Structure 1
């Protein structure tokens, strides 16, 4: 049985370990390794997309046939009318319309087509009018914006390594009131409620400056796969009625650039991906309830502190005393808990901080107890 000294050592190690755990979580030094673990999980946790989401791609062939981008908005008006005729469920246009056209009639045509369809969502994003200047929201021009069914922000959640692993479901200037483009599209069909959104909340967003771009409901994505996992139809084929009706009828349609030269390419952990396919991943995951919510600081700390008790309780037991088997068992259990929460409950607990503390505890126990007889532990 453990002696009073051994229990005292256990208590001291747990308190010191919990303090170290706080420092590691707050500092973020283990984030690169946690990201690597999440990426590894995601690579073997892909899914096959349903056919509910279709990308209408502004691809190289469309550029060849229609001409250099940006195209006159009358072209987009024709596409939207064509999609209306196909009977699509809703249209998310990942195409900027924040400045007036040179030809005002083009704006009138696209506005009329959007009104006729009744289920078109256009993007909102933040931009500064000058280098380092104040941010402002780039909205569609009023003649177009007043005819849309909804607006959705197209903010991209890049990590420090420039990889895109997640998304913000809400964002806005001063307050996160704009839904993401995918969420706005789903809300047209009452498929998603703002009150039940998943995601990690920003605890400070209520005290934000009205001039800061604020984000909320951060979620991690379970990508369907590398770029190309979602069905794509060429913009020019849809425009010219060269697509069977069954490929578009009652589908969510996302329109956006896939041609490399247009610059809308994001770097995901698996491959470069067009922004419109990133939006397709968010839309599919939202509709199927597959978005992952990272644990907040208190939940990370609480779970980590609980897991730190495991090796301290096992120290000195027959067969798994002060040896490497104990470290292996503790490490395996921490990883199993993290993966089980991810796969079973769509919650992400980054485990590396806890693993690092367990390793430090193991070494400290060895040093503190090496001169004591095993029978007195």
Structure 2
């Protein structure tokens, strides 16, 4: 069973998280990245930096004191004098960061120092672990017994150095064999009675059995900033009495060497420019840490590992789960989150969490996961390209080859030598029956396309190339044809099979295909040209309902090109005022008086010249411009009716033809009524003409539309009556006012058949009480015939050709004057 890309990605992501968890546990336990952790700590430490307590004062054995008192080491008489001077200033405690482990040759000096210490009773001496050689054991270096017994307390000055040689920690208790010595800072606080509850060694002394130097109660130093150190006073200034006693009174006084070369110099995170800090300064920082309660603790090893693993799971998991486009942002946020957790613990809970392991592994996880995802994306894109290429060559609904594949097949024809056989390219446009179900449910309409595709495929056989180009357009390549006659014969057989009715969703479907054919290499050896000519022939077939199969010829190409030019010229012609409305008078048959006129649209193109309505009206209907033209005619006719009314010709009636598209608009009557109202024209002066075939398209809709028109007071006429399929039954349904006899019957009035039809129409109109107009009257004989048979109105060139509105007004005025 093959895994999907999403499942494979999930498995790899889970493995990646587990791998980094294991790596994080190992690196955390081994402290592999300790140096980086220490560097991060040094960066964060200033954010936790406390102020130096004003209770701490350093008496510095500095260069100035050495110059004044002579070469180091000094006699202990000098230290005794210092203590005596300090005693006068009442310090809380005095810590001497000097190890008096050997007696001075002048024994009076030791006695003098011991006497001074006994007098102030607040002096703390230091104890230090010493390792004489690399192979020797650690021993305690203590003050000589005389001084040790005189001191108020002893405290250790053990300095903890990290892997990089920098001091960041100190221990509250330490000692040889057991941690019985307090830190010198803690010892001074105890002497000064300011020591907090820092406990005692973590185990009873009796439980320590470890040889060597033992330490407990580890703390991390909170170093003050480099410009906020303990106040320094020179040793010699105290001896010479130049120090304000208030600077010492109630303070913790540390005495130690600050001059280079005579004391310990230790690297710390607070050192600037890699300068090292004297040991007495370190003690002042330890004391300040205890006084300010700003000490920090390291997380235990187990908590360190646990938190590291948790952060790795969260951070790496977030990277794995986030979309590839967001993975970098997620990785950056995860790294910030890790450092923020460490900083939060440091500032809020005074706990140090070493974040380097989680930070580095998260930083490594992002590129590894990105590389993997990119490889996955590349494979997905390759797979997608293959799928898209296949889809690009197939129609999405029927699965047949599409126009791209057809172009490739046609291109192959162009690479062949002159063949002995012909290849016919047949473009089929299928007019399929649209049921209510197929209109409402598009998926069913698509399934009908599949049925049609199967019908075409079955008609030509599996060996013939069939393509589905557009929704209703298909293409067939018939190769191996000997001549045009065989191509026509094959096309006829194909047409007959496609037209065979079939049942679909309980309906009988009859397909009405239009087929256009171009022949290779006769019509063209160029694939694009051959396809264009086949489409041209198909378009000709759609234009001519009597031509279901059309073979391309040069004449057809010229005809379609002319139509293209006509459509181009028609676009924007209305806005350019190229259309004009003319009127052909309608006269009363008995008197010859003009009582109405039919509005006729005329077009004069600057490029193509005058174009008759029989040419441009079908183009306008097929291109959708007929609605705009119809609205123009209605508005212009109403405007001209207003002119005629102003000229005193209020009896005139104007007839306007409606296209099938206009008549199908159910709001047409309301729209026309608004136009009449805005022009102040009575509705009875406007007559709307519709053709017989328009009414027969949809009887119910036609009746409803006509009722709406009649409701607004306009009259209705059927134009070209007798050319369609109307019957007496149909005419009874329509609320008509007038029938118009088509001019073809007028022209052939001497023909017996035309004569009988004309007389039947006149008789039918009289029986239905309808007004009747004869069109196309051009001779006196025709006019006499229609008068004889009681026709109401006449229209034709015998009375006037179509003229502009102003000319019609003048004509009616002349007629009125003559009368």
Query: Kindly tell me: are residues 9 and 317 of structure 1, through their superposed partners in 2, closer, same or farther at Cα, counting changes over 3 Å?
Result: closer
Q: Which residue of 1 aligns with 2:359?
A: 355
Q: Which blocks of at least 5 consecutive residues in structure 1 are unaligned?
A: none
2:18 matches 1:15:
yes
Larger deviation, residues 15-24 vs 342-351: 15-24
1-structure distance, mates of 2:194, 2:369: 56
Provide Cα deviations, 1:143-179, integer angstroms capped at 9, x if missing partner: 1101211111111111222222222222211222211
Provide Cα deviations, 1:160-204, integer angstroms capped at 9, x if missing partner: 22222222222211222211111111122142233289xxx89xx
1-structure distance, mates of 2:360, 2:129: 39
2-structure distance, mates of 1:364, 1:318: 14
Shift of 1:215: 2.3
Provide Cα deviations, 1:78-133, integer angstroms capped at 9, x if missing partner: 11121111010101110111111111121111111111111111000112455622
Q: Which residue of 2 aligns with 1:137?
A: 140
Larger deviation, residues 321-330 vs 95-104: 321-330
Query: Does structure 1 conserve the Cα–Cα contact (< 8 Å) formed by 2:173 and 2:200?
Result: no
Query: Kindly tell me: are residues 321 and 312 of structure 1, through their superposed partners in 2, closer, same or farther at Cα, counting changes over 3 Å?
Result: farther
Provide Cα deviations, 1:304-354, integer angstroms capped at 9, x if missing partner: 111122135434666676621111111010000111111222211110101
2:39 matches 1:24:
no
SS at match of 2:215: strand
1-structure distance, mates of 2:207, 2:370: 48
2-structure distance, mates of 1:86, 1:266: 31
Equivalent residues, number = 367
Query: Kindly tell me: are residues 367 and 315 of structure 1, through their superposed partners in 2, closer, same or farther at Cα, counting changes over 3 Å?
Result: same
SS at match of 1:261: coil
Q: Which blocks of at least 5 consecutive residues in structure 2 are unaligned?
A: 382-819
Shift of 1:140: 0.9
Shift of 1:355: 1.1
Q: 1:105 is matched with which residue: 99, 102, 108?
A: 108
Q: Which residue of 2 aligns with 1:302?
A: 306
Structure 1 segment 228-307 matched on structure 2, within 5 A: 229-269=229-269, 270=271, 271-307=275-311
Q: Which protein, 1 or 2, shows the higher relative CO under an 8 Å CA cutoff with sep ≥ 6?
A: 1
Query: Kindly tell me: are residues 313 and 28 of structure 1, through their superposed partners in 2, closer, same or farther at Cα, counting changes over 3 Å?
Result: closer
2-structure distance, mates of 1:246, 1:301: 51
Q: Which residue of 2 aligns with 1:169?
A: 172
Query: Kindly tell me: are residues 320 and 291 of structure 1, through their superposed partners in 2, closer, same or farther at Cα, counting changes over 3 Å?
Result: farther
2-structure distance, mates of 1:194, 1:45: 21
Structure 1 segment 207-222 matched on structure 2, within 5 A: 209-210=210-211, 212-222=212-222
Q: Which residue of 1 aligns with 2:720?
A: none
Shift of 1:208: 5.6
2:360 matches 1:329:
no
1-structure distance, mates of 2:311, 2:128: 42
Shift of 1:13: 3.5
2:348 matches 1:344:
yes
Structure 1 segment 148-163 matched on structure 2, within 5 A: 148-163=151-166
Q: TM-score, length-normalised on structure 1?
A: 0.88
Q: 2:129 is matched with which residue: 126, 131, 150?
A: 126
2-structure distance, mates of 1:350, 1:311: 16
2-structure distance, mates of 1:257, 1:227: 19
Shift of 1:29: 2.4
Query: Kindly tell me: are residues 319 and 11 of structure 1, through their superposed partners in 2, closer, same or farther at Cα, counting changes over 3 Å?
Result: closer
Task: Please tell me the root mean square deviation across aligned C-alpha atoms, in Å.
Answer: 2.7
Query: Does structure 2 conserve the Cα–Cα contact (< 8 Å) formed by 1:316 and 1:322?
Result: no
2-structure distance, mates of 1:333, 1:61: 51
Query: Does structure 2 conserve the Cα–Cα contact (< 8 Å) formed by 1:87 and 1:248?
Result: yes
Query: Does structure 1 conserve the Cα–Cα contact (< 8 Å) formed by 2:322 and 2:330?
Result: no
2-structure distance, mates of 1:157, 1:318: 44
Shift of 1:282: 0.6
2-structure distance, mates of 1:353, 1:318: 22
Query: Does structure 2 conserve the Cα–Cα contact (< 8 Å) formed by 1:320 and 1:326?
Result: no
